[in-house]
Amino acid sequence: MHRRAVTDRRRLLAAVVCAISFSTAVASDPLPSWNDGTNKQRIVDFVASVTSKESRWHVPVAERIATFDNDGTLWSEYPIYFPVQFAVDLTSQLVVKHPELRTRQPFQAALENDLKSLTNIDGADLLTLISRTHGDMTVREFRSQVSRWLSVARHPRFDRPYTDLVFQPMLELLDLLRANKFKIYIVSGGDIEFMRVWATRIYGVPPEQIIGSRLKTRLVKRDGKPALLRLPEFEFFNNAEGKPISIRKFIGRRPIAAFGNSDGDLQMLQWVTATDGKRLALIVRHTDRKREWSYDRKANIGHLDKALDEAARKKWLVVDMKRDWKVVYPFQSKR
């Protein structure tokens, strides 16, 4: 009995040691959904170099700012930008009030859910579709529309809510930066109020740290109380050169890290890295046709051409989704 008890205790101790070793291994890997390799190591090394007080590249906490694009960087953007799909789905409501729009483009394409036409329309028509469907309602009414849509809309390929299509490796990257006292901002071409409805819940980024495209807004009275009315006209389109302009205007500091996926992020990445000190610029390249999509230089959505060339010249990180990520979406990691 005594010998058996000793044996049992040894087995228990071995099991405990094994469990502790496993937990330590998991805890020691801040990016568990990333495959080991140069890109993962460069991210970890960058964070260590700017946060260690012994490092020559140490950055004070107040200056640890990171900016992230959203569409294509933090979540998917195919077969059409998700905020545009929201606008498409709102078009049926718009034409009830304005039936003359039924036979006009891009509204006709939206009513017919003609994705081929919608992905090829010019920028002006795209902004018109968004502004007309997103405007003529108060901020509160718009937020309600977004919440309702997110609760019922399903992605056509995965049959899941659109907020399920966030990138698990990027969520881990957000957590890594937060754990090292970075302040994270989303700097996107998407509608600022659209993102503010759900981004805090999904990304942990508060509304005041979300910067996006903005419709003109007017203070009005509704039921005798002041309300903010969104007008069907853009005040600012937060893309390309608009991104560094917005960063300077709303943040007031130059970030030390920036993350994007397309030529629309090029100017942000250039501006962030065009200064002394340790800087990180990262591009998410969509290369995984099986788990997500594969596109870059020839794509209308998420067009990545000039930024890819610039990344090669400047030695920015280009994350290859197929090679660098163990999983793409959180629901894939649970299988």
| Residue 305: closest CA among 292, 314, 295, 296 | 296
- Is a pLDDT exceeding 60 seen at residue 16? no
pLDDT at residue 28, rounded to an integer = 87
The first and second tokens of residue 95, run together, are 């034409």
Q: Measure the CA–CA gap between 265 and 238, rounded to whole angstroms.
A: 10
Q: Measure the CA–CA gap between 21 and 35, rounded to whole angstroms.
A: 20
Residue 334's pLDDT band, with cuts at 50, 70 and 90, is low
Q: Contact at 8 Å (CB) between 111 and 90?
A: no
- Is a pLDDT exceeding 60 seen at residue 8? no
For residue 34, give the DSSP letter: B
Q: Measure the CA–CA gap between 17 and 173, rounded to whole angstroms.
A: 29
Residue 198's pLDDT band, with cuts at 50, 70 and 90, is very high
The one-letter amino acid code at 230 reads: R
Q: Contact at 8 Å (CB) between 98 and 195?
A: no
- Is a pLDDT exceeding 90 seen at residue 328? yes
pLDDT digits (tens, 9 = 90+) for 89-111: 999 999 999 999 999 999 999 99
| Residue 279: closest CA among 315, 318, 321 | 315
Domains of the chain, by residue range, sit at 35-333
pLDDT digits (tens, 9 = 90+) for 307-321: 999 999 999 999 999
pLDDT at residue 6, rounded to an integer = 42
pLDDT digits (tens, 9 = 90+) for 216-226: 999 999 999 99
Residue 153's pLDDT band, with cuts at 50, 70 and 90, is very high
Q: Measure the CA–CA gap between 283 and 279, rounded to whole angstroms.
A: 14
Residue at token pair 């610039």 = 310
Give the side-chain half-sphere CA count within 13 A for 197: 19
pLDDT digits (tens, 9 = 90+) for 237-254: 999 999 999 999 999 999
pLDDT at residue 14, rounded to an integer = 38
Residue 333's pLDDT band, with cuts at 50, 70 and 90, is confident
Question: What is the topology classification, in CATH, of domain 35-333?
Answer: Rossmann fold (3.40.50)
The first and second tokens of residue 19, run together, are 């469990």
What's the mean pLDDT in 19-25?
35
